[in-house]
A = this chain, B = another copy of it.
Amino acid sequence: MRICRIAHPGGIDYAVLEEEGFALLLDPFEAQPRTTGVRVPAARARLLAPIEPRTVVGMAHNTGPADRALPPAAFLKAARSVIGPGAQVRLPDDGGHVVAEGELAMVIGRDTAGVRPVDLLSCVLGFTAANDVTDRAAQSRDPLWTEAKSRHTFTPIGPWIETDLDPADVAITLAVNGSEAKTASTRDLARDPGEVLAYLSRLMPLGPGDLVLTGAPAPAVPISAGDDVSIRVEGLGELVNPVEAFPLPDGLAA
């Protein structure tokens, strides 16, 4: 099942993707999500970020197997940095050196508190593609990574939540302007999604709608104003976002 969040003439709703459009959902976090009976044709709907998380957490240095030598470490991204498919990634007005990172993200479906580590993957509602946009210049001057990771628009996710996906070995392709820059598989991650959840759930509470970025198995790619950046996840879909410069209006500049 592909769970979407859509804007349509009737408002904003969760919905299931069907051949001709969308079937609205009562509550995607129900054990057996039910449709409302209302359908929206594709032409009348726009895909939004498939979730509005309270927590967005990513894994630091979780790329190739060499990272297993490092202790696991996580970082938070501001929940309001999340944007949906097609929305603009806005480059900071101070230039920076911004890169895209293509990742598989887990959407949590139920509270992880008290769940045994071996059962944690059962708390995952599904998966979505994520672009963990990062300002390398800010990252090098701020060891907390807040500015580097949490700027407005720095967490594109989508296009939907795929509930039927085995995360063990899916290819992630990062492309800029249609040119395929990098492909790698989640099997290359130092710590797999189950290990990531086991680490995080000891550290902090996770609950319905929270988003866990599992790490980029392939190198990051620089992005510039005017680019279109795409993250394609095998068996899931493609997340595309335009990149724009975002000068602050007069009176807001430093």
Contact = CB atoms under 8 A, between A and B. Distances in A.
Interface of A: 54-55, 57, 60, 71, 73-81, 113-114, 116-117, 141-147, 150-152, 202-207, 210, 248-249, 251-252, 254
A55 B79 contact: yes
Nearest to A154: B204
A202 to B, nearest CB: 7
Contacts of A81: 204-205
A75 B113 CA distance: 24
Given A73-B146, A204-B150, A78 B60 contact: no
Given A78-B76, A80-B207, A142-B73, A202 B116 contact: no
Given A73-B142, A202-B254, A80 B60 contact: no
A54 B80 contact: yes
A206 B206 CA distance: 22
B150 A117 contact: no
15 contacts: A54-B79, A54-B80, A55-B78, A57-B146, A76-B150, A80-B205, A80-B206, A80-B207, A81-B205, A116-B251, A144-B144, A144-B145, A146-B203, A147-B203, A152-B205
